[in-house]
Chains A and B, each alone.
Chain A
Amino acid sequence: MLKKSILSIAALVMIVSLLAGCGGGKDSTAGGSAGDIKVGVLFSLSGSLAVTEKGMANAALLAIEEINAAGGINGRSISAVQEDYASEPSGAATKAKKLLQQDKVAAIVGGYTSASRQAMLPIVEQANGVLVYPTFYEGQEYSKNIIYTGATPNQQLQEFVPWLMDNVGKKVYFIGSDYVYPVETNKQVKELLKLNGGEVVGEEYVPLGQSEFASVINKIKEAAPDVIFSDLVGDSVAAFYKQYKSYGLDPAVMPIASPVTAESEVVSMGADVAAGHISSSAYFQTVDTPENAKFVEAYRAKYGENEPITQVIEATYFSTLLLAEALKKAEDVTDAEAVIGAFAGLEMKAPQGTVKIDPENNHAWLNSRIGKVGADGQFEIVQSTSEPIYPEPWAKILYPEHEKPWKK
């Protein structure tokens, strides 16, 4: 009996020490010397969101490598402090606190879901740090400590919806995952439909993770829309597209249009299933700019030939480069206001084309593209804006009277 309890105590001690090891051992600080500027790279490398966030972390590290190779920040190189928040929003808050208070990073590049950003927001504001958030999101937020480099809904939709009306058809059926992003996005799409003479013939939200769509597809067939507007996310995306095909529906007649479905989702459903469907994004891997050719080549050389490169990966990459520019411009890199101030109006040629940070609302002016999946599983770009689009965290068509928090 005694022996048994000793054993179990020993086991417990081992487990605890293992856990402790996991908690603190992820630093990949490359022995940063005193002169280095520290930048936090905070994405999920484990858990369900690692699917997407691994690629984002890779992009940030690639950018930092390039910055250092080109001479760093006024002679000082950047050392990346990488942390893993394991797909838990609360973990994002803890790790952000650690990066800001313990490592004293100049800025954090990180966050993917809105939940992770909202968990970090109070921490970053309290510690007066800088967070660069590179994911497209539902908008309706502004923080003086956050630079938002992902698309707001208006940037993804204001070109997309009229294009769908003109080129595909006016009757729209909505299918989305049941949470804030699809509901907010669809609100805006509906306003745009009204302005462009479109019509909603059905709307359905399914629980996150749902993978059975027989019933939804029946309803869609009965409603006979011209286009299905999908903001499904996660595992539901591949399941829905696959079952759409197995019911014999034809993308030439009734394509699925989505602001979410990107290169990595296409890989998970297979090119034969995805071919003919339409997506809107600031960036596709097929964008034809010299910056993109260079980026795709460098990314592939470092992380593998078959890695899909999506808009969030590209956004993380150019955001990190922009951060370097801001750090160069800022008089004191430890002063958050100086760094954020240096971001204002900053412009660069990103892989997606020209982007710039709006001097007032901390969001980025981005491009808008519409792509149709070809037989090879890559997006063929059918329309592209010539100029970047103004970011509207509070879309003008939905909230014309909303007071602008950055004017306070």
Chain B
Amino acid sequence: MGIMQQVADGISVAGILVIIALGLGITFGVMKIINMAHGELIMIGAYVTYLVCTEGKMPFVLGMIVSFLVTALVGLLLERFVLRRLYGRPLETLLATFGISLFLQQLIRMLFGPDGKSVVSPFQGVLMIGEVAAPYFRLFIVAIAIVMVLTTAYVMHKTKFGIQLRSVSQNRDMCECLGINTSKVDAYTFGFGAGLAGLAGSILAPIKSVSPTMGLDYLIDSFMVVVLGGVGSLMGTLFGSAAMGESNQLLTTFMGETGAKIVVFLLIILVIRFKPEGLFRMERR
């Protein structure tokens, strides 16, 4: 029985979840912005990769870098012109970002047409470990997920920007008193989170669909990961992804895809019922 194969694929699914949820972990987790346009930021990343790699015939790595930069720029603009005016008003933020998500979907549809686009996978082939098949591209995704988490952890904990970011999220007034330019920190944080979303879109483009409607699926998954793992905690995002990826993958062995999804949803509801702060709670004073 391919239980080992399912576990291995669970790791790769978890990797995909880490990649898509990391950006949201920052914008929602740290900044408390309910960003309904997260999926569309992922979509923008995927389309930029399509432009760079399929249309421009450039290497995939370049597509990843450009996707990060372009989406970060989009994030900065969104923060500057929309979200900045709505801090502390979650309901309005939700509506505004939902509107933005529809706007971006339609914009992409007008620019690129409604049909899906293809991005060729940079890695072909499969690595066989005993009975377990691991496509090179899935290994690459897991590696990238690890690199992204480590880089984000480094940025958040070791750089001046990261320390400012965390202190602003904990006590904005005190930071302002101490002379930190909080609006600048907000802008860069959102830009960084958006950039990570774009990078996610870029990495997933070769194995998922690239179309104007692709964002919705990712939005739901990434919110669940962040809420399950614990809002505001990087480790939470990591473990939330692992828990969701593995449980989903293992459950599909016994029930169909639809059944597995229902059970995972139920488990998440149970977790939130008994641990409302998620699996990993960030200690706060």
- Out of B12, B124, B126, name the residue touching A214 (CB < 8 Å): B12
C-alpha spacing A246/B203, complex, angstroms: 14
Which residue of B117, B120, B133, B206 contacts A268 across the interface (Cβ within 8 Å)? Answer: B117
Give the complex CA separation of A212 and B218 in angstroms.
11
Contact pick for B116, options A178, A207, A216, A235, CB 8 Å: A235
Report the minimal beta-carbon distance from A292 to chain B, rounded to whole angstroms.
21
Q: Smallest distance from the beta carbon of A295 to chain B beta carbons, Å?
A: 19
**Cα of A45 to Cα of B261 in the assembled complex, Å:** 32
B125 contacts chain A at the CB level, 8 A cutoff: yes
Contacts of B208 in A (CB 8 A): 211, 235, 238-239, 242
| Cα(A248)–Cα(B12), bound, Å | 16
Q: List 22 A-B contacts (CB under 8 A).
A: A50-B109, A51-B115, A52-B114, A204-B256, A204-B257, A207-B258, A210-B217, A212-B13, A215-B248, A218-B9, A235-B208, A235-B211, A235-B214, A237-B209, A239-B208, A239-B209, A246-B138, A247-B126, A247-B133, A247-B135, A248-B133, A268-B115
Is B249 an interface residue, CB under 8 A from the partner? Answer: yes
B6 lies within 8 A of chain A by Cβ: yes
Any chain A CB within 8 A of the CB of B253?
yes
A267 near B207 with CB under 8 A, answer no
Partner of A235, one of B209, B248, B252, B256: B209
CB contact under 8 A between A246 and B137, given known A204-B257, A211-B209, A239-B208: yes
Contact of B118 among A52, A204, A273 (CB under 8 A): A273
Residues of B near A308 (CB, < 8 A) are 115
- With A212-B13, A214-B13, A215-B253 already in contact, the answer to whether A238 and B2 are too (CB < 8 A) is no
Residue numbers in A under 8 Å from B231 (CB-CB): none
Which residues of B from 231 to 263 have beta carbons under 8 Å from A? Answer: 248-249, 252-253, 256-258, 260-261
List residues of chain A with CB within 8 A of the CB of B260. Answer: 215
The chain A residues found within 8 Å of chain B, CB to CB, are 46, 48, 50-52, 54, 178, 204-207, 209-212, 214-216, 218-219, 221-222, 234-239, 242-243, 245-248, 264-265, 267-270, 272-273, 308
Distance in Å: Cβ of A287 to nearest Cβ of chain B? 21
What B residues does A265 contact at CB under 8 A?
116
B249: which of A215, A239, A246, A272 is its contact (CB, 8 Å)?
Answer: A215
Question: B213 interface residue, CB < 8 Å from A?
Answer: yes
Instruction: Return the contact of A51 from the options B114, B206, B252, B256 (Cβ within 8 A).
Output: B114
Q: Which residue of A lies closest to B125 (CB)?
A: A248
Whether, in the assembled complex, B106 has its beta carbon less than 8 Å from a beta carbon of chain A, the answer is yes
A270 and B209 alpha carbons, distance in the complex (Å): 10
Question: Known contacts A50-B114, A205-B256, A273-B118: does B135 contact A248 (CB below 8 Å)?
Answer: yes
What is the distance, in angstroms, from A87's C-beta to the closest C-beta of chain B? 10
Contact A268 B210 (CB under 8 A): yes
In the complex with contacts A214-B249, A247-B133, A268-B210, A209-B217 CB distance below 8 A: yes
| In the complex, number of A-B residue pairs with CB atoms less than 8 Å apart | 127
Within 8 Å CB of A54, what residues of B?
Answer: 114
The contact of B206 among A48, A236, A242, by CB within 8 Å, is A242
Instruction: Name 4 extra pairs, CB < 8 A, besides A50-B109, A204-B256.
Output: A46-B106, A211-B214, A246-B121, A265-B116
Contact B207 A209 (CB under 8 A): no
- Decide if B94 is an interface residue (CB 8 Å cutoff): no
The reply on B182 being an interface residue by CB < 8 A is no
B216 at the interface (CB under 8 A from A): yes
Measured in the bound complex, the distance between the Cα atoms of B209 and A239 in whole Å is 5
Interface core residue of B137, B138, B256, B261 (most chain A CB under 10 Å): B256
Asked whether, in the complex, the Cβ of B115 is within 8 Å of the Cβ of A264, the reply is: yes
Interface string of B98-130 (1 = CB under 8 A from A): 000000001001000011111111001110000
- Which residues of B (205-232) have their CB < 8 Å from a CB of A? 206-214, 216-217
In the bound complex, do residue B114 and residue A222 qualify as a contact, i.e. CB atoms below 8 Å apart?
no
Find the B residue at minimum CB distance from A211: B208
A265 to B114, CA, bound (A): 12
Q: By the criterion CB–CB under 8 Å, are A215 and B116 in contact? A: no
- Residues of chain A within 8 A of B16, CB atoms compared: 212
B169 at the interface (CB under 8 A from A): no
Which of chain B's residues has its CB closest to A87's CB? B213
The 4 closest A-B pairs by CB, nearest first: A268-B116, A270-B118, A248-B126, A214-B9
Residues of A within 8 A of B119 (CB): 270
Interface flags for B12-30 (1: CB within 8 Å of A; 0: not) read 1100100000000000000
Chain A residues near B216 (CB, 8 Å)? 209
Residues A268 and B211 in contact, CB atoms below 8 Å apart: yes
Q: Which residues of B are found within 8 Å of A222, using beta-carbon distances?
A: 1-2
Inter-chain contact A210/B126, CB cutoff 8 Å? no
Cross-chain contact of B207 among A204, A237, A243, A248 (Cβ < 8 A)? A243
In the complex, chain B residues whose CB is within 8 Å of the CB of A209: 213, 216-217
Contact between chains at A267 and B116 (CB < 8 Å): yes
With A51-B114, A209-B217, A273-B118: A238-B257 Cβ-Cβ less than 8 Å: no
Bound-state Cα–Cα, A369 to B13, Å: 38
B2 near A48 (CB under 8 angstroms)? no
Q: Which parts of B114-157 form the interface with A (CB within 8 Å)? A: 114-121, 124-126, 133, 135, 137-138
Which residue of chain A has the shortest Cβ distance to B118 in the bound complex? A270
Residue in contact with A246 in the complex, picked from B6, B207, B257, CB distance below 8 Å? B207
Residue of B nearest to A206 (CB): B257
With CB as the reference atom, state the residue of chain A lying closest to B138. Answer: A246
A238 / chain B contacts, CB cutoff of 8 Å: 116, 118, 208-211
Query: In the complex, A216 Cα to B126 Cα: how many Å?
Result: 17
